[in-house]
Amino acid sequence: MSDLPGIVVTGASGRMGQMLSKTVLESDRAKLVGVVERAGHPWVGQDLGELLGGTANGVVVTDDPLEAFAKAQAVLDFTAPAATVAFAELAAQARAVHVIGTTGLSDDDLAKLEAASHHAVIVRAGNFSLGVNLLTTLTQKIAAALDEDYDIEVIEAHHNQKVDAPSGTALMLGEAAAAGRGVNLDDVSDRGRDGITGARKKGDIGFTAIRGGDIVGEHDVMFAAAGERIILRHVASDRAVFSRGALKAALWGQDKKPGQYDMVDVLGL
């Protein structure tokens, strides 16, 4: 039991943080050795088992990431961009695999993660589910097979507390479509249509974001031409698909060389 890789979960009280901790606690391939929350959060200092509605399990929520990471072989991090950038440096110092699910990272944030990955294994994905990563490879293949007569639209729906748009997954799918077409997404991305926008530009990849209720995550990639449409769809109904994928990534990363990896690498797609 003590030989199992030790895992730390950051953002312990968050929607994903709670799911990640439960997944690790239920796993027989890893053990939860620490959970981190931001300083001043009411969960800090309390026993996670009790906070999750069960009995005490001795894992106490801390606001000291460095102390927690020092005991870990991997950090599962689904928090916020500023926190994730700070954690990347600390995870590298602790030689822990940093599994990053946080979305909404800026180019500046990504450059800092790239720098950290020279000394550490980072696995970062806009979506950790098997289904979405399959959808990504299918999107790239279909985009490569079809010409610009097929307008590509990515439509996503999430719960009403999500703070960034389009979702990390929608951007992943857009990147895959652009790669299939051999273009740069930044040159063809069409986001936030409103008002008299003019006709759709041929070759653009459009994004639409829906926000409401408790939707876990839904993504459509539509290829629309005169007379026909192809629609690829993924629906996540349980956050466990992300936390199981994140734990898989943490275990996969244990014997890898420093660098940045994604779920396509982990799943060998």
Q: Which of 102, 133, 139, 140 binds ligand NAD (CB under 6 A)?
A: 102
150 binds ligand NAD (CB under 6 A): no
103 binds ligand NAD (CB under 6 A): yes
Residues sharing a CB contact under 8 Å with residue 204, sequence separation 6 or more, in sequence order: 151, 152, 188, 189, 190
Choices 99-107, 134-142, 181-189, 227-235; region in contact with ligand NAD by CB under 6 A: 99-107
Choices 46-54, 74-82, 112-120, 221-229; region in contact with ligand NAD by CB under 6 A: 74-82
Our CA dihedral for 245, 246, 250, 256, rounded to 10 degrees, sits at 70
Q: Which of 21, 79, 117, 260 binds ligand NAD (CB under 6 A)?
A: 79
Site for ligand NAD in 203-262 (CB under 6 A): 242
Minimum gap (Å) between residue 11 Cβ and ligand NAD: 3
Q: Verify whether residue 234 is a known catalytic residue.
A: no
Minimum gap (Å) between residue 104 Cβ and ligand NAD: 6
**Which residues on neighbouring strands pair with residue 207, listed in sequence order?**
154, 191
Q: Verify whether residue 22 is a known catalytic residue.
A: no
- Tell me which of 31, 41, 162, 256 is the catalytic residue: 162
Task: Label residue 215 exposed, middle or buried (CB < 10 Å: 0-12, 13-18, 19+).
Answer: middle
Phi, psi at 259, each rounded to 5°: 155, 175
Q: Which of 103, 108, 109, 107 lies closest to 124 in space, CA to CA?
A: 103
Q: Which of 94, 112, 186 lies closest to 102 in space, CA to CA?
A: 112
Q: Which residues are catalytic?
A: 158, 162
